[in-house]
Chain A
Amino acid sequence: MLHGYGPSLLQGAALTLSVAGASLLLALALGLVGATARLSRSALASRLALAYTTLVRGVPDLVLMLLIFYGGQMALNELGDRLGFSYIDVDPYLAGVLTMGFIFGAYVAEVLRGAILAVPAGQAEAAQAFGFTRVQVLWRIVGPQMLRHALPGLSNNWLVMLKSTAIVSVIGLSDLSNRAAQAAGATGKPFVFYAAVGLAYLAFTSLSELGFAWLRRRLMVGQTVGQVR
């Protein structure tokens, strides 16, 4: 039915999930930094973070990807030239993950910022009265509580990112959509392959939704809040 392109599509699917997963981790790290920067007392940090989120949300993923993919390598080369070593090579997979992570870090930063703000201020104040440092407040008091509020937004971001990995195919990464395009061109039967890819993504998003529902139940243990959605 898939004209023998099954294995190729499976490899593509594995790569898609791998890129999405790795990008999520990077996005979480950047998002945390971005959110704390936005909320920090330093005006510089706050403005930088705002510039970051504004840039990413103002420009299409595709354009940012093309920019970072080519421009990023060039910048790295410049840096390498200036600092004296020949060059640092960034392989296509890493470039894809860095790009996606950078883009979605901005969205995650907004979600985390909202989530941190949603935790009652009294908690942080009480902690500080007890002598916790700002880092400890974030780590041990606000952080864990923030996760509950962040979950809907984070799950949304994950789903969007999962679907956005399809765009990475346009810059050449052999993910699921790219493999489908290759198969479609070779066999002249695009419908079969794009329908198959659509079903695969539907499966990914459905499974993700189930996973988040489970996570929501676990994190909401003991809470009596209304429907978060």
Chain B
Amino acid sequence: MNLQAIVAALPTYLAGAALTLQLLVAALLLGGAAALPLALARGAASRWVHGPVWAFTYVIRGTPLLVQLFLLYYGLAQFEAVRSSALWPWLRSPAFCALAAFAINTCAYTTEILHGTLRAVPAGEVEAARALGMSPLTTLRRIVLPSALRRALPAYGNEVVLMLHGTALASVVTLHELTGAAREFNSVHYLPFEAFITAAVFYGLITAALVALFHAAERRWLMPMQGR
């Protein structure tokens, strides 16, 4: 194990880890923000409302993230119309394309998670709220959402870890996040073991931190609710 080479490359790895975290947080914020209204729409009675949302989550969850990324990055650039449109300065950037692909992907999965937990809120609680004269919006805000969001914590924690793993794909479209740093190292030094074990250690640490974060969140918000 060539420790010297690894230590010399640590700055690149740290820079890569920073980019990984930036991509992760930005994707989660964008995707998560959009997921809430979409989850509500997904549960709507009208087929015109829940149909498109269902189609969206079905397609995104049924195709690999890598293919979605390639479609966005290489696929769209194929068309002259796209290249001369107002969106091009954005779509031109690999970072934007990767972020967009990750955000869309996590949005679809989070929508399904929230949809599930929204449906699982005991009907009795909702009925009681309406009986007390709460408007639909108030019911949502004070009864349904707190319950649904807390119940979603375990599954959402899982989704966050999976999205962290997903960011590794950004290296395939020229970005120098953590996996990109490892591949760079490997291509210069021809030391695959050292290159990828270092990256694995970084990812492991970040994952451990995320898991601990979600455990703490569950202890604070979910367990009191479940009376454990």
Contact = CB atoms under 8 A, between A and B. Distances in A.
**For the complex, would chain A's binding face be called helix, strand, loop or mixed by DSSP majority?**
helix
A194 interface: yes
A191 B63 contact: no
Given A67-B193, A177-B64, A58 B203 contact: yes
Contact of A163 (B63, B182, B195, B204): B63
Contacts of B76: 191
Contacts of B169: 62, 167
A104 to B, nearest CB: 13
Please report whether the interface of chain B is mostly helix, strand, loop or mixed according to DSSP. Answer: helix
Nearest to B210: A58
Interface residues of B, number: 42
A84 B4 CA distance: 31
Given A177-B66, A194-B75, A74 B168 contact: no
B29 interface: no
A63 B75 contact: no
5 contacts: A66-B182, A70-B193, A177-B67, A191-B79, A205-B62
Interface of B: 59, 61-68, 70-71, 74-79, 116, 161, 164-169, 171-172, 179, 182-183, 186, 192-193, 195-197, 199-200, 203-204, 207-208
Given A74-B193, A205-B63, 15 more contacts: A58-B207, A59-B204, A60-B164, A62-B169, A63-B168, A66-B183, A66-B192, A71-B196, A177-B67, A190-B70, A190-B71, A198-B71, A201-B62, A205-B62, A229-B116
